[in-house]
């Protein structure tokens, strides 16, 4: 049986589930704070698990805490089609970043059950651990281990700001599984996500067909100066680590702008020591995030930044060190999977355009080990990583319908 354009997901049920999940770990301004491996994350996982069980799926859990809910196919030898994203959020996150991709996957299963449709390939809905990378750097760490980019021990040793490790926190919240990470073989992987940028809304398009993902480099810089009195230390005698960071903030901006319009760069996290009103900062630690669709440009940005940090530090008398804390090369998604997404949008009558993803996604790592692509839907004002992040129920439904068609077509309906 072929999939036809009248086959659609239940958009009300999808929206209700999104709203239900958003009640867990509410933020302070209408969004969510469900950071990875917190009690709130565990509660969100348990709700997802219950929904999956109710939909007749069986849950697998790997050693990185990634959850795999499986609906059987008819062919015991056929590899599963995977679909999903992440349920963890930023500390001031929205209700849809990641969550739409997981609950959109669940909605596909519920709809297949309702329509009594069987597929040749099993379908597995995934919730990857720690996509956001805010509590434990880097982002997409579990999919990175799955794709062989990081070792399990290295991932377990990642520390949060309080010195708790990812491995200990996995155990504490009860989501340390025993399945080897990356042992699963995938027929294909599809991830639905909000765009997190303004292009689709500005161009009035329903769907982004994601052909590429830009690469990124995360650096952590430590500057050491000398703590001294802000009132009595003469200006020429100061060794001000805060001043160094200020100059480096400008530098990051200039470097990104020199590769306009596609390069971006920002300092997102900083700790100033001792952080007192009347002490000149003796130490500053901050992170830099550079991104571009071409690897050479990312390399150029990093090289120029490292050189600039040396010069600025020498000028002020600071010591400095730079550590790489995250990175991946630009991604080209699988032609067959991209074509399946585009064909689904066409069949369903949605307006669409090709997109390069500005954000990192688990799909970027999974693409290294399985044919992969992504579907995007618009978000209001392109705003994300902000509690005010918003989408309409129609946008969510359109994205999930495209996901539904791409996944089910790939999993092959059995008569």
Report how far Cα 304 is from the mean position of its chain's Cα atoms.
27
- What is the contact mask toward Mn ion in residues 97 to 116, using x (rule: CB under 5 A)? xx------------------
Min dist CB 35 to ligand GLV, Å, is 12
Contact partner at residue 62 from Mn ion, ligand GLV, none, CB < 5 to 8 Å by partner kind: none
| Helix segments in 147-286, DSSP class H | 152-156, 166-172, 199-202, 241-258
123 or 374: CB nearest ligand GLV: 374
**How many residues of this chain interact with ligand GLV, rule: CB under 6 A?**
4
Question: Measured between alpha carbons, how far is residue 394 from residues 139, 207, 232, 377, 383 in Å?
Answer: 29, 11, 62, 10, 18
What is d(CA 313, CA 108) in angstroms, rounded to the nearest whole number?
54
CA neighbor of 101 nearest in space, from 293, 357, 331: 357
* Closest chain position to Mn ion (CB): 98
**Six-digit token pair at 125?**
């809905």
Contact partner at residue 360 from ligand GLV, Mn ion, none, CB < 5 to 8 Å by partner kind: ligand GLV
Min dist CB 360 to ligand GLV, Å, is 4
**Six-digit token pair at 173?**
């919240």
Residues 320-359 that bind ligand GLV (CB under 6 A): 359
Rg value, the chain, Cα: 23
324 backbone dihedrals φ, ψ, rounded to 5°:
-80, 125
What is d(CA 7, CA 401) in angstroms, rounded to the nearest whole number?
8
Min dist CB 187 to Mn ion, Å, is 23
60 or 382: CB nearest ligand GLV: 382
Residues 124-143 that bind ligand GLV (CB under 6 A): 132, 139
Total residues belonging to the chain:
415
80 or 358: CB nearest Mn ion: 358
Tell whether residue 360 is a contact of ligand GLV (CB under 6 A): yes
> Beta 264-273 vs 413-414: how paired, if at all?
unpaired
Tell whether residue 256 is a contact of ligand GLV (CB under 6 A): no
Contact partner at residue 297 from Mn ion, ligand GLV, none, CB < 5 to 8 Å by partner kind: none
Tell whether residue 73 is a contact of Mn ion (CB under 5 A): no
User: Which residues sit at the interface with ligand GLV, rule CB under 6 A?
Assistant: 132, 139, 359-360
User: Which residues sit at the interface with Mn ion, rule CB under 5 A?
Assistant: 97-98
């Amino acid at each position: 049986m072929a999939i036809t354009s009248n086959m659609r997901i239940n958009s009300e049920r999808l929206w209700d589930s999104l709203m239900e999940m958003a009640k867990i770990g509410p933020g302070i301004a209408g969004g969510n704070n469900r950071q990875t491996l917190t009690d709130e994350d565990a509660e969100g996982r348990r709700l997802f698990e219950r929904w999956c069980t109710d939909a007749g799926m069986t849950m697998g859990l790997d050693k990185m805490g990634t959850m795999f809910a499986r609906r059987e196919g008819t062919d015991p030898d056929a590899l599963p089609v995977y679909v999903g994203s992440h349920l963890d959020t930023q500390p001031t996150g929205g209700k849809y970043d990641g969550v739409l991709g997981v609950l959109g996957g669940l909605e596909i299963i519920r709809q297949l059950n309702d329509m009594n449709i069987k597929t040749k390939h099993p379908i597995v809905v995934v919730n990857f651990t720690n996509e956001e990378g805010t509590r434990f750097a880097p982002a997409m760490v579990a999919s990175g281990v799955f794709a062989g980019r990081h070792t399990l021990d290295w991932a377990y040793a990642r520390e949060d700001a309080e010195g708790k490790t990812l491995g200990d926190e996995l155990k504490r919240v009860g989501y340390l599984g025993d399945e080897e990470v990356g042992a699963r073989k995938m027929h294909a992987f599809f991830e639905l996500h909000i765009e997190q940028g303004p292009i689709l809304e500005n161009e009035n398009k329903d769907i982004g067909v994601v052909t590429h993902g830009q690469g990124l480099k995360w650096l952590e810089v430590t500057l050491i100066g000398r703590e001294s009195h802000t009132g009595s230390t003469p200006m020429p005698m100061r060794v001000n680590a805060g001043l160094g960071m200020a100059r480096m903030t400008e530098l990051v901006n200039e470097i990104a702008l020199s590769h306009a319009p596609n390069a971006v760069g920002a300092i997102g996290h900083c700790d100033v020591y001792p952080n007192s009103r009347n002490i000149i900062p003796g130490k500053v630690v901050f992170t830099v995030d550079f991104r571009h669709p071409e690897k050479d440009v990312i390399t150029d940005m990093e090289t120029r930044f490292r050189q600039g940090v040396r010069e600025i530090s020498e000028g002020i008398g600071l010591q400095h060190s730079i550590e790489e804390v995250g990175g991946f090369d630009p991604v080209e998604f699988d032609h067959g999977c991209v074509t399946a997404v585009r064909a689904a949008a066409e069949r369903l009558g949605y307006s669409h355009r090709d997109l390069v993803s500005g954000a990192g996604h688990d799909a970027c790592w999974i693409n290294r080990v399985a044919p992969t692509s992504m579907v995007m839907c618009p978000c209001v004002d392109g705003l994300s990583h902000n509690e005010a992040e918003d989408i309409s129920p129609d946008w969510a439904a359109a994205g999930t319908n495209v996901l539904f068609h791409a996944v089910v077509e790939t999993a092959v309906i059995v008569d």
